[in-house]
Amino acid sequence: MKKALEGIRILDLTAHLSGPFCTMQLADLGAEVIKIEPPRGDQSRMRVVAEAKAESPYFLSVNRNKKSMVLNLKMKKGLEIFKELVKISDVVIENFRPGVTNRLGIYYEEMKAVNPKIVYASISGFGQTGPYRRRTSFDQVAQAMSGMMHLSGYGGPPSSTAGSISDTIPALFTAVAILAALRYARITGIGQSIDVAQVHSTTSAMPIPVQRYLITKEEFFRSNPNPGTEKRFPLMELRATYQTKDGYISINTLFHFMDIFVKLLGKDIPELLDEWNRNKYISKEVHGLIVEWIEKRTTDEVAAILEEGSIPYGRVFTLPELVNDPQAIVRGMFVEVEHPKGFSYTTVSSPIKMSETTTVLEIPPPALGQHTEEILSDLLGYSEEEIVRLREEKVVKTSMGEM
């Protein structure tokens, strides 16, 4: 089966999470992603565990379907080779701190002179412009300055959200922008630069609370420094996580679902039915009765009642429950991979399902420099003798030898 992005070549200069997560999405869709690594490799390679034969789960999680080429961009010949690759590629992506690409001589204007159709994407903490542009940022910094940490601290101090979401959100925005820019380049023959900031991508991913504040100047979902007073009463909807007899369940009764919820629980909690019919809200006292009702039942029992009314809910899965969930299994969300080192491991697959093209896992996350020789010979036409000389001069690193 053909792949949606077959024929697209991406030069991936990124490290850590945001950039590699972005290029992995495009690689899953069939793009050829060449991961250009410095001699020491992507820093995420260093977080190794014994269970994966000294490989890094961090690196394994975001670098499938890519080729690894070690290229020393600080050397004149390394820069020349990179420019040769830019001539025959469609996309360059980097997530350095602004200013680094200028020092290396690989900034957009320079690459545009080499290939006018090149799409050049940059992911950074605060963007390429503005007073903060040269500041270093990681996930928690972006969560703090985007408003997410404040909004997530509902009922207590500000709280970060799990999963490095301020890395993965800008990665997805960047992937969308790259696809749009590729289409524009195909139509016009003109490439362009893409500038995506972690902080503002995260803000953009929270449209409802931000938009409501912009209109009303009131924080509807604000963190409250006084423990125990996190809920504003009276309530007109339930949107919270509750403890059951044997776990936790998240309930969301937006819109008409609140009426259905009240009818179902009103059989056991008449005070709820009476109060809702009178006022269309729930007092703190009646909410306490709902909490008690849920606490006395198992998650399965609560879920069965919610399903009766098709009320949106979610069990709070632990990681073992998540990976064994029948829905995830049917959707093929966790797949087995054979690693070149001779061990197998399970990884998270692409959530994208398409009818005419497919996402595949063709290449396990590569060893450092695993494809350097292949890229030099097959794409750029270097001879074996030239590759040996480049390796000896420490311009490149290949699977045949160290720099």
Q: What are the catalytic residues?
A: 167
Cα angle value 72/75/79 (rounded, 5°): 75
Which stretch of DSSP H or E encloses residue 262? helix 257-265
Indicate the residue type of 333: M
The CA dihedral of 6, 8, 11, 14, to the nearest 10 degrees, is -70
Q: Strand 66-71 vs strand 91-94: parallel, antiparallel, or unpaired?
A: unpaired
Separation CA 220–CA 58 (nearest Å)? 36
Which stretch of DSSP H or E encloses residue 76? helix 76-87
* 201: Cβ contacts below 8 Å, ≥ 6 apart: 142, 146, 166, 169, 170, 173
Instruction: Choose among 72, 80, 74, 77: nearest CA to 40.
Output: 72
340-349 core/surface letters (b: 16 or more CB in 10 A; e: else) = eeeeebebeb
Q: What are phi and psi of 338, to 5 degrees?
A: -95, 125
Q: What are phi and psi of 282, to 5 degrees?
A: -120, 130
